[in-house]
Amino acid sequence: MEITADQVQEIYMWTLYGAATILVFGRLLIRWTQRKLNCDDVLNGTALLFLLSYGVVQQVLLSVYSVATTANELTVSTILTLVYNLIWWTVPLLVKASFLATYRKIFMTSRVFRVAWWIVTVYTVITFFALFLGQLWVCGGPSEVANFVACSDPSLNRREANDLWWWMALNVFGYLLIMALPLSVLFKLKLSSQQRLSLVAIFAITIINVLFDIIRTVYGVQLLRDPSSMSAVLYQLPNILTVVEPAVAVIVCTLPTYRTLLPNQSKKREKTYKLLHTGCGGRNMRSKHIPNPPAANMELGISRRPDRCQL
């Protein structure tokens, strides 16, 4: 039995969405057991809900569009397409917001970082509303969003192709800002090389979404301008990346939490410190020449003041 392109897309989609669900629930469970459920965790969980809603809306849209014949059915499919696109843009916003909340919790002790954080946050909010509202003009204006004939007009393809380039540029630049924001502060913290490398690797994984966005846009523009020049595989690539990209974003957002499960070098140093002070027989051997061990809760430079977003 031959697998169709739509079935391949669904396999990719629900496999990644299932992995995202498991990792997000794992993150929330870790935070719950640590009694540290914060804003970044809630935002990551909300992104998962929108991701799953996106998958459900897509399935409904495909089933409605495949049998739509009457004017009312075509109108419903057009409205579902709009909802589908709006949810798609909401998922990366929530992922970026989760990363920003994480950065605020960890790195806000730096004054320079606070200024940079606010700049990136304002940029993220403004670009989201620009991209969100831009969906209302895809068919020519807000009054035409439910008009199947207007939204299917081939003359709109050229403008939509140009819009894709602008949307990609805004979205990719936002991802790069999110990725670069903590790096300047990260190397000023008192972390081991292993801890720095692990955190840099997590932040750098964001580049995967940047590549997905660029590839999806390049082939999406080609699909709008000259679909006959594309092979069967490339013809389906933009659709596959469209469902894969938000899932990867949600998955990447969970990874910093799982870093806490790795061996903690600072705890090993603190244990060695205690052994030096107590001796093998338990006798206190504290010396004024031995410095105090670093506090465990300062491992990542977290401020002692409580997080105002903490639940």
Give pLDDT tens digits for 130-182. Answer: 988 888 888 877 888 888 888 877 777 777 888 888 888 998 999 888 888 87
Q: Is the dihedral of CA 56, 68, 66, 82 positive or negative?
A: negative
Here the tokens at position 137 are: 């003009």
Q: What is the pLDDT of residue 2?
A: 64
Q: What is the DSSP letter of 299?
A: T
- Write the CB contacts of 184 (distance below 8 Å, at least 6 apart in sequence): 113
Average pLDDT of the residues in 246-265: 76
At 36-80, the pLDDT tens digits run 788 999 999 999 999 999 999 988 888 887 777 777 878 888 888
